[in-house]
C-alpha cells in the first residue's frame, strides 16, 4: 500500500516529545513490511543543517489559503527507505520553537491545506492518509467537506492517531471562516466546534475514517468522563472505530549493547557492566560513588500530567528516611523546576536537579540508574518506561494508560513482573510502590531477576506496525 503520514514533528529532524519518536520509528517498520511510506512535515528553520543540506527541491505546489493561493516549495529526502516531503513557508515555520506561537492556529491550518496539496500532486494514488494529533486533524474534515478535493474524496481513507487528548487545538471561529475559507454552517452544526471555538481535534475525531490511540488502556480510559477531556461522549459515539495500538520503541536508538552515549555497553549477559554507568552518573554530578545505594532518576517534561505533585509529597520523606540518590533531567512549569532546585539544595549529597534536556545525558541516566520514576496521573503510552526496562532500570509507575499495558508488578513467588505499580484510582500510594522497589533492591537475587525480566521484553515497533498495517488493509479493502 501507499501510505502518507503527516505530523508536526519527527525524529531525526525535530523533536519536542513522543510524537516525534513515533514518526521516526513507525514509518521505518511499515517500509520493512513492504509498504511505501511518505511522511509530510513542515520545513522548520530549526531542522539541523546536516539534514537541510541533503534536502532536494522537488517542486512547488499551490496551497489555497486565506481567500487566495500561496505557492510553497517542497523538499524531498529519503532515510532508511522512508520518503520525506518538507513543506516550506518561512512566514510560518522559520521560528525559534515549534509550538506556543501566537499564530499556531493559522500556521497549522496552512499545514493542513498544504498536506492535501501535496497528496493531490502525487502521481500515484494514495491508499491511506494517516494524521497525528491536533496539528493535522482538520484534514479529514477538509477532505470530506471541501469540493475542491472531489478527486480524492472516497478514494483516500484517513486515520487519526491521538497521542494526547489533552491537547486539542482550540482557536477562534474566524480561523474556520477566513483562513480555511469554510462555511459558517459547519460551525453552527457543531461539526468542528466546542464551546464557541474551533476545535481541531474534535473535527478530526468526527471526520476521520478510523481513530487510534497509542495504547489499548488509554483507548478505554478516554471513553470515560475522568480521562475524556470533555470529548468522551463523542468518543463513545465513535467507539466501534476507536482502536488502541501500543507504541513501540526504536530499538536501534535505544540499545544498551551498542549505545555510544553511555559509559560502557552491556546486554542481559553482561548486565554487571551497568554498574560502570552508575558510577559515571555519580561522578558526573558529584554524588558519592557507591554501588550499594539505589540511584533513582526521572526524565520528564515537568507538568501536572506527569505527577510531579506526587513526588512533592513522597520524595522528601524518602530522602530523609532512606539511603538513596536521585537525579532529575527535565524542564517545564516553573513551580516544579523550583521544587527540584530546592530539593537539591536541601539534600546536596543525594539529589541533583538538571533543569533542561540533554539526549546523551538521558541515555546515560537510563543506563546508570537503578529505578525510574513515573508517577503520571495519566499517560497515553509512555516511552520512558520502555527505555528504562530495555536498559535494565526498574520502573516504578502509576497504573494508567500505557504504563498499565507495559509494566507488571513483580511477584516474589513466581519471579514474574518487571516493575512496581501504584494505583491512584484505588488509593494505592506511589510511596508504597517505591518502598516495595527499594526493599527488593537490597535482595540481589530478586533485583537481578526484575532487571532481566524487563530487558527480555519485546518493545520493538514490529508488532505495533503489523497492527497498524492490518487496520490500513481492512480500511482500504485490501
Q: Which helix (H) or strand (E) holds 196?
A: none
Grid coordinates representing 376?
A: 503520571
Buried/exposed code over 216-234 (b: 16+ C-beta within 10 A; e: otherwise): bbbbbbbbeeebbbebbee
Task: Catalogue the E-assigned strands of 393-432.
Answer: 394-398, 420-422
274 labelled binding-site residue:
no
- Find all residues with CB under 8 Å of 25, minimum gap 6, and list them: 11, 248, 249, 250, 253, 461
Nearest Cα to Cα of residue 169 among 225, 229, 215, 113: 229
| CA-based nearest residue to 39, from 96, 77, 1, 69 | 77
CA distances from 438 to 163, 268, 292, 353 (A): 32, 22, 12, 21
Q: Which residues share a beta bridge with 61?
A: 72
Surface-to-core class of residue 269, CB atoms within 10 Å of its CB (0-12 exposed, 13-18 middle, 19+ buried): exposed
DSSP 224-239: STTTSTT-HHHHHHTG
Three-class SS of residue 258?
Answer: coil
> How does strand 351-355 pair with strand 242-244?
unpaired
Question: How far is Cα 459 from Cα 182, in angstroms, rounded to an integer?
Answer: 43
Q: How many C-beta atoms surround the C-beta of residue 318 within 10 A?
A: 17
Cα–Cα distance for residue pair 382/407, rounded to 1 Å: 11
228 within 8 A of 161, measured Cβ to Cβ: no
3-state secondary structure of 45: coil
Q: Which residue in 416, 420, 368 sits closest to 399, CA to CA?
A: 420
The answer to whether 440 and 450 have CB atoms below 8 angstroms apart is: yes
CA–CA distance, 328 with 377 (Å, rounded to integer): 18
Give the three-state DSSP class for 458.
Answer: coil
Residue positions in the annotated binding site for ADP-alpha-D-glucose?
15
Residue positions in the annotated binding site?
15
Amino acid at each position: 500500500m501507499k501510505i502518507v503520514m503527516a505530523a508536526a514533528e519527527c525524529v531525526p529532524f525535530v523533536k519536542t516529545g513522543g510524537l516525534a519518536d513515533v514518526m521516526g520509528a513507525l514509518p521505518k517498520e511499515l517500509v520493512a513490511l513492504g509498504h511505501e511510506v511518505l511522511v509530510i512535515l513542515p520545513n522548520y528553520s530549526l531542522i539541523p543543517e546536516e539534514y537541510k543540506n541533503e534536502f532536494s527541491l522537488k517542486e512547488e505546489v499551490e496551497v489555497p489559503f486565506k481567500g487566495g493561493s500561496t505557492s510553497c516549495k517542497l523538499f524531498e529526502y529519503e532515510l532508511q527507505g522512508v520518503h520525506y516531503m518538507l513543506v516550506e513557508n518561512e512566514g510560518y515555520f522559520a521560528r525559534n520553537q515549534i509550538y506556543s506561537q501566537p499564530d499556531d492556529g493559522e500556521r497549522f491550518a496552512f499545514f493542513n491545506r498544504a498536506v492535501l496539496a501535496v497528496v493531490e500532486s502525487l502521481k500515484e494514488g494514495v491508499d491511506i492518509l494517516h494524521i497525528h494529533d491536533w496539528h493535522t486533524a482538520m484534514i479529514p474534515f477538509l477532505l470530506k467537506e471541501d469540493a475542491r478535493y472531489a478527486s480524492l474524496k472516497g478514494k483516500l481513507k484517513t486515520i487519526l492517531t491521538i497521542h494526547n487528548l489533552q491537547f486539542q487545538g482550540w482557536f477562534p471561529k474566524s480561523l474556520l471562516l477566513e483562513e480555511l475559507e469554510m462555511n459558517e454552517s459547519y460551525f453552527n452544526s457543531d461539526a468542528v466546534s466546542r464551546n464557541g471555538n474551533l476545535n481541531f481535534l474534535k473535527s478530526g475525531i468526527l471526520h476521520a475514517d478510523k481513530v487510534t490511540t497509542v495504547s489499548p488502556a488509554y483507548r478505554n480510559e478516554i471513553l470515560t468522563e475522568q480521562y475524556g477531556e470533555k470529548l468522551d461522549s463523542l468518543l463513545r459515539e465513535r467507539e466501534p472505530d476507536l482502536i488502541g495500538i501500543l507504541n513501540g520503541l526504536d530499538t536501534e536508538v535505544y540499545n544498551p549493547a551498542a549505545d555510544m552515549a553511555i559509559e560502557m555497553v552491556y546486554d542481559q549477559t553482561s548486565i554487571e557492566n551497568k554498574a560502570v554507568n552508575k558510577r559515571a552518573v555519580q561522578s558526573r554530578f558529584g554524588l558519592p560513588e557507591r554501588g550499594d545505594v539505589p540511584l533513582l532518576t526521572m526524565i520528564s517534561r515537568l507538568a501536572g500530567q506527569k505527577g510531579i505533585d506526587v513526588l512533592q509529597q513522597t520524595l522528601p520523606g524518602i530522602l530523609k528516611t532512606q539511603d538513596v540518590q536521585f537525579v532529575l533531567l527535565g524542564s517545564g512549569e516553573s513551580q516544579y523546576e523550583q521544587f527540584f532546585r530546592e530539593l537539591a539544595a536541601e539534600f546536596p549529597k543525594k539529589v541533583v536537579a538538571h533543569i533542561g534536556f540533554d539526549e546523551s545525558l538521558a541515555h546515560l541516566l537510563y543506563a546508570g540508574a537503578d529505578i525510574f520514576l513515573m508517577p503520571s496521573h495519566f499517560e497515553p503510552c509512555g516511552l520512558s518506561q520502555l527505555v528504562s526496562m530495555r536498559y535494565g532500570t526498574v520502573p516504578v509507575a502509576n497504573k494508567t494508560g500505557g504504563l498499565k499495558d507495559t509494566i507488571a508488578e513483580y511477584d516474589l513467588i513466581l519471579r514474574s513482573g518487571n516493575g512496581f505499580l501504584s494505583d491512584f484510582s484505588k488509593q494505592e500510594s506511589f510511596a508504597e510502590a517505591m518502598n516495595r522497589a527499594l526493599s527488593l533492591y537490597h535482595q540481589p537475587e530478586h533485583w537481578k531477576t526484575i532487571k532481566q525480566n524487563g530487558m527480555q521484553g519485546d518493545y520493538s515497533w514490529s508488532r505495533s506496525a503489523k497492527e497498524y498495517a492490518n487496520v490500513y488493509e481492512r480500511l482500504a479493502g485490501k
